[in-house]
């Protein structure tokens, strides 16, 4: 677990440093907004629930049209389990789960115009905490890491940025057993400010 966290941070750092050598323009800023998240799997309700995300970004220009944008964000995800969750895993009436992730998206930005940027890339997530319900039941239900792909658009309004993204989890985060595969899906809407 500790080695995996070190590898994710090393990957983000190497990505940032290697692109900095080619950089023509560097932007630093903060961002935050709402997250609508759904955990796919038969033991979770097939509906989105609300959370939030906060963090910072560095955008490193690679010419007029492209940039690499690593970010570091805190994401809180709220999930509702279905009625058969407790029965399948022998937990005592668990209906809601709160997860907090440290996420590191590494995005490729394509400037389609002065106002519009298209974004795509991988996101690495590290689980910071788990719901008290799972700890009290003596089980670690969620894996400590998550890997997702991100796609979205961003409007650039002077120093302000308004963005929308869709994230699809590619890894199974169920750490109990193989009875049910759990993957994240998220929609993020937010605003950013370039310093």
Give the chain's domain count: 1
* Greatest distance between any 2 Cα atoms in the chain: 57
Cross-strand partners of 192: 31, 161
- The enclosing domain of 183 has a CATH number of 2.40.160.20
Query: Which residue is listed with tokens 């796609």?
Result: 151
If you average pLDDT over residues 68-80, what whole number do you get? 87
In tens, the pLDDT along 138-172 reads: 345 566 678 899 999 999 998 999 999 999 987 76
Q: Are 138 and 155 a contacting pair, CB within 8 Å?
A: no
Confidence grade of residue 109 (pLDDT, cut at 50, 70, 90):
very high
Alpha-carbon distance of 30 to 82, in angstroms, equals 36
Can you read off the two tokens belonging to residue 136?
Answer: 């009290």
Domain of 11, in residue numbers: 2-194
Confidence grade of residue 5 (pLDDT, cut at 50, 70, 90):
low
């Amino acid at each position: 677990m500790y080695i995996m966290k070190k590898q994710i941070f090393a990957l983000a750092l190497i990505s940032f440093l290697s692109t900095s050598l080619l950089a023509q323009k560097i932007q630093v800023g903060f961002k935050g907004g709402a997250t609508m998240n759904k955990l796919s799997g038969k033991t979770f309700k097939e509906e989105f629930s609300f959370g939030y995300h906060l963090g910072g970004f560095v955008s490193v220009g690679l010419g007029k049209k492209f940039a690499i944008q690593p970010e570091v964000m805190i994401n809180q995800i709220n999930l509702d389990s279905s009625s058969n969750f407790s029965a399948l895993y022998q937990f005592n009436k668990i209906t809601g789960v709160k997860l907090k992730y440290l996420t590191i998206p590494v995005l490729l930005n394509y400037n389609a115009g002065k106002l519009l940027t298209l974004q795509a890339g991988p996101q690495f997530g590290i689980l910071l905490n788990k719901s008290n319900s799972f700890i009290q039941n003596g089980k670690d239900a969620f894996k400590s890491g998550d890997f997702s792909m991100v796609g979205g658009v961003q409007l650039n309004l002077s120093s302000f940025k308004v963005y929308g993204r869709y994230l699809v989890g590619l890894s199974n985060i169920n750490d109990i057993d193989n009875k049910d595969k759990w993957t994240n899906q998220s929609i993020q809407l937010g605003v950013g400010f370039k310093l």
